[in-house]
Amino acid sequence: MSDRLSVFKTYKLYVGGKFPRSESGRVYEVTDPKGKWLANAPLSSRKDARDAVVAARKAFGGWSGATAYNRGQILYRVAEMLEGRREQFVREVADAEGLSKSKAAAQVDAAIDRWVWYAGWTDKIAQLVGGANPVAGPFFNLSTPEPTGVVTVLAPQDSSFLGLMSVIAPVIATGNTAVVVASERAPLPALSLGEVLATSDLPGGVVNVLSGRTAELAAPLAAHQDVNAIDLAGADAALAKELEIAAADNLKRVLRPAAVDYTADPGTRRMTAFLETKTVWHPTGALGAAGSSY
* Whether the predicted model's global pTM rises above the 0.85 cut: yes
Question: Is the pLDDT confidence value at 84 over 90?
Answer: yes
In this predicted structure, what is the pLDDT of residue 105?
A: 97
Residue 169 maps to a domain: yes
Task: Determine how many CB atoms are found less than 10 A away from the CB of residue 5.
Answer: 5
Average pLDDT over residues 140-149: 89
20 domain-assigned: no
| Distant-in-sequence, close-in-space partners of 11: CB < 8 Å, separation ≥ 6 | 39, 40, 41, 42, 187, 188, 191, 192, 211
**pLDDT recorded at residue 1:** 57
- Enumerate residues 6+ apart whose C-beta is below 8 A from 282: 139, 140, 141, 142, 291
| Amino acid 91: pLDDT | 96
**Strand segments (E) across the chain:** 27-31, 37-42, 131-132, 139-147, 150-154, 177-181, 207-210, 229-231, 253-255, 275-283, 292-293
Asked if pLDDT for residue 294 goes beyond 60, the answer is no
Name the band, by pLDDT with cuts 50, 70 and 90, for residue 135: confident
Per-residue confidence (pLDDT) for residue 104, from 0 to 100: 97
Predicted confidence (pLDDT) at residue 38 exceeds the cutoff of 60:
yes
DSSP class of 66: S
CATH number of the domain within which 158 lies = 3.40.605.10
DSSP state of 18: B
- Region 216-242 average pLDDT: 97
Alpha helices, DSSP H only, in 4-142?
Answer: 46-65, 68-84, 86-97, 101-121, 125-129
pLDDT at 286 over 70: no
**CA–CA distance, 93 with 110 (Å, rounded to integer):** 12
Residue 15 lies in a domain: no
- Residue 18 pLDDT more than 90? yes
Check whether 277 has a pLDDT greater than 90. Answer: no
For residue 293, pLDDT over 60 is answered with: no
**Would 166 be classed as within a structural domain?**
yes
The CA distance from 162 to 177, in Å, is 19
What integer is the mean pLDDT of 204-218? 97
β-sheet bridge partners, residue 30: 39
Cβ atoms within 10 Å, residue 12: 18
8 has a pLDDT exceeding 60: yes
Q: 238-267, pLDDT tens digit by residue? A: 999 999 999 999 999 999 999 899 999 999
Domain assignment of residue 283, yes or no: yes
Q: What is the rounded CA–CA span in Å between residue 15 and residue 215?
A: 19
Q: Is 6 domain-assigned?
A: no
What is the reported pLDDT for 281? 85
Does a structural domain hold residue 188?
A: yes
Q: If pLDDT is split at 50, 70 and 90, which confidence band does 141 have?
A: confident
- The domain total for the chain is 1
**Segments forming the whole domain that contains residue 278:** 27-293
Distance in angstroms between the alpha carbons of the first and the last residue of the chain: 72
> Span 81-88, mean pLDDT?
96
Residue 12 lies in a domain: no
Please return the burial class of 286, using the count of CB atoms within 10 Å of its CB with bins 0-12, 13-18 and 19+: exposed
- Which positions ≥6 away from 196 have C-beta within 8 Å? 78, 81, 82, 85
What is the pLDDT at residue 2?
64
In terms of Cβ atoms closer than 10 Å to its own Cβ (0-12, 13-18, 19+), residue 83 is: middle
Strand order in the sheet with 139-147: 131-132, 139-147, 275-283, 292-293
What pLDDT band is residue 56 in, cutting at 50, 70 and 90?
very high
Contact 211, 221 (CB under 8 A): no
**Please, which pLDDT band fits residue 146 given cuts at 50, 70 and 90?**
very high
Q: What is the mean pLDDT of the chain?
A: 93
The percent of residues above 70 in pLDDT, for the chain, comes to: 96
